[in-house]
Structure 1
Amino acid sequence: MKILVTGAKGFIGKNLIAELKTTTNHEIFEYDQDTEYSLLQRYCQEANFVFHLAGVNRPKEQAEFMSGNFGFTSELLELLKQYQNNCPVMISSSIQAALDNPYGQSKKAGEELLFSYSEETGANVLIYRFPNVFGKWCRPNYNSAVATFCHNIAHDLPIQVNDRSVEMTLVYIDDVVKSLMGALEGREQREDNYCVVSITHQTTLGKIVDLIESFKASRAERSIPDMS
């Protein structure tokens, strides 16, 4: 099988590709913003499955949300249509797609585009509205409060918490990858029109900070933290 992964150098993309290369013999087409466009054309012609993980989280201008999260998705789907490739397409959306902000609006627009594409072509589409994803290779000060807190606390840098009581829904990267591998094999879990990761964690911002700080303190105290 030939698998196209957009956003190949991103957080989720790197973890997914590592799993694919370790556990399967599939041919992986890795596409990122510095990949030659001609390769994307070939990949869209040959792919048997698409993991569309590319997106914009922290643009310099708000308009980049729509161009990055909607515009590139539109371009990708047009190429698939051009080559009459109706392979399954997975897209990484966000729980913020339900919110009225520029990022959420761009993610929602990408979702609607994919639903329309499915109706037009008959292709199977898998839309994941990910909550806050954390885990290995996640960049601090980018798209994860957990990664930022870990980095700053480990380096004795200040952190900013405006409201400790804020409820957080978290999902660990390995559980995301496990879900995506299942989707590749046709075993995705769905709720209504969306695919879901079965294992998520509910906590508060304050509890996350306290836990990470306890890990740092255990080094100085030579104690064993609660690893549950």
Structure 2
Amino acid sequence: MKKIVITGQSGFIGSHLYNYLKYVSKDFEIIPFEDHFFKDEAKLKSIVKKADVLVHLAALNRHNDPDEIFKTNKQLVEKIINACNATNSKPHIIFASSTQEARDNPYGLSKKEGRLMFSKWAREKGATFTGLIIPNVFGPFGRPFYNSVVATFSYQLIHNKTPKIEVDARLKLIYVQELIEEIHRIIHKTIGNEKYYIKHTEETRVSEILTILTQYKNNYIIQNAIPELQTEFKRNLFNTFRSYIDIDKFYPVYLEKREDNRGFLVESVKERTGGQLFYSFTLPGITRGNHFHIRKIERFCVIKGQAIIRLRKIGTRKIVEYEVDGNNPAFIDIPIWYTHNITNIGKDEMITLFWSNEIFNPDDTDTFFEKV
């Protein structure tokens, strides 16, 4: 197995790459990297020496002092090159540059400079180097006001703030999972290219993004309805949008119970997209699940019996628990990248209604097993 080092492992793209390699593909050995290793010369040398592949994602995107952006990003590249030279190491280096290389700003200039420095080193040492030119990246768990306008707008809408459009630019976008899968392919095939363009998968205006996200708030947050998600882009936007919900406070969402002399009726799923509805019978003490998804949207609704639904975000230890009862109908939607399970804690059989935005495909289940 190739040994992989990811600088910026705790960042937006880095955490997605780390989780994908560790929990989904499982075909590489990941050498853990922490940002403070850049300040420890001996540690950095030790890490570099072990690496077959080094994916350099660590970078300073924003700072009050523009000169600090260029200076910091250049220094990070220099430290990696110096560590490689000192240990006579020649890992395949994959460097995350940006389409902002073409712009006259400190971030873009620092990325271009770093790519050229790595290119020169690789040619001199006979090493493999891939300089990624990446368009705007969006996806779940990005940092608002830092990583992308999608993250910023989603955060603001969820927290009842009013987004503002500074410039209604036309953006070329790629979803973070699409980027990760391309990096995974580059690692597997050892693709070397000093200027490797990552193709965008969507092009749209900032105002169009805000319109869609505002519709998601109106549909999902206010009306408890799953919005129309007929394209991958809209599904990816929705999964990004809902990643900013505080699941500790938002769920369970209690449903209206309409009762009369016949019994009662509950509208458990309102959706404007396709999908699949199914149900299960679970015996007392039995647990179902212990898996996560990276694209599916799921809704759980216990309609008879008592249960505990547990969620844990991949890569973290915190477990969120919801105790639900069929006599007090409520739903819980499962975020992507959260492993989850449901346990019957009652004395009788439990009936659970499940909804997913896609029909089950045994050849592409999007289901990865991991205990909560």
Is TM more than 0.5 here? yes
Matches of 1:69 and 1:205 in 2, distance apart?
28
Question: Aligned with 1:128: secondary structure?
Answer: strand
Give 1:10's aligned residue: 11
Give 1:185's aligned residue: 188
Question: Aligned with 1:185: secondary structure?
Answer: helix
2:136 corresponds to which of 132, 138, 159: 132
Question: Aligned with 2:9: secondary structure?
Answer: coil
Shift of 1:113: 0.4
Matches of 2:162 and 2:104 in 1, distance apart?
30
Question: Letter of the aligned partner of 1:28 in structure 2?
Answer: I
Q: When you count strand as a share of all residues, which structure comes out higher?
A: 2
Deviations 1:193-228 (A, max 9, x none): 422334521011110000000000113245553213
Give 2:20's aligned residue: 19
Equivalent residues of 1:179, 1:188 under 8 A apart: no
Question: Aligned with 1:85: secondary structure?
Answer: coil
Matches of 1:78 and 1:28 in 2, distance apart?
22
- Are 1:78 and 2:82 an aligned pair? yes
Question: Aligned with 1:77: secondary structure?
Answer: helix
CA change 1:44–1:156 in 2 (3 A) is same
Deviations 1:111-167 (A, max 9, x none): 110111111111111111111111122111112110000000111102110333x10
Question: Aligned with 1:120: secondary structure?
Answer: helix
CA change 1:215–1:77 in 2 (3 A) is same
Equivalent residues of 1:134, 1:147 under 8 A apart: yes
Question: Letter of the aligned partner of 2:228 in structure 1?
Answer: D
Q: Which has the higher contact order (CA 8 A, sep 6+)?
A: 1
Matches of 1:124 and 1:189 in 2, distance apart?
5
Question: Aligned with 1:34: secondary structure?
Answer: helix
Deviations 1:44-69 (A, max 9, x none): 11111100111000123222212221
CA change 1:218–1:144 in 2 (3 A) is same
Equivalent residues of 2:92, 2:190 under 8 A apart: no
After the TM superposition, which of the residue ranges 127-136 and 18-27 deviates more from structure 2? Answer: 18-27
Matches of 1:211 and 1:81 in 2, distance apart?
49
Matches of 1:223 and 1:19 in 2, distance apart?
30
Alignment identity in percent? 27
Give 2:227's aligned residue: 225
Deviations 1:162-197 (A, max 9, x none): 333x1001110101110111011116496xx42233
Matches of 2:190 and 2:140 in 1, distance apart?
25
Stretches of structure 2 that go unaligned for 5 or more consecutive residues are: 232-372
Give 1:171's aligned residue: 174
Equivalent residues of 1:5, 1:52 under 8 A apart: yes
Equivalent residues of 1:32, 1:54 under 8 A apart: no
Give 1:161's aligned residue: 165
Give me the TM-score of the superposition, normalised by structure 1.
0.92
Deviations 1:7-48 (A, max 9, x none): 111111101111111222533123232346232210111111
Equivalent residues of 2:137, 2:176 under 8 A apart: yes
Give the greater-gyration-radius structure (CA): 2
Question: Letter of the aligned partner of 2:173 in structure 1?
Answer: L
Give 1:66's aligned residue: 70
Give 2:54's aligned residue: 50
Matches of 2:167 and 2:64 in 1, distance apart?
26
- Are 1:32 and 2:34 an aligned pair? yes
Shift of 1:83: 1.2
CA change 1:122–1:217 in 2 (3 A) is same
Give 2:154's aligned residue: 150
Equivalent residues of 1:51, 1:91 under 8 A apart: yes
Give 1:117's aligned residue: 121
Equivalent residues of 2:172, 2:200 under 8 A apart: no
After the TM superposition, which of the residue ranges 71-80 and 35-44 deviates more from structure 2? Answer: 35-44
Matches of 1:66 and 1:156 in 2, distance apart?
35
Name the Cα RMSD after superposition.
1.8
Equivalent residues of 1:94, 1:129 under 8 A apart: yes
CA change 1:140–1:7 in 2 (3 A) is same
Stretches of structure 1 that go unaligned for 5 or more consecutive residues are: none
Equivalent residues of 1:129, 1:194 under 8 A apart: yes
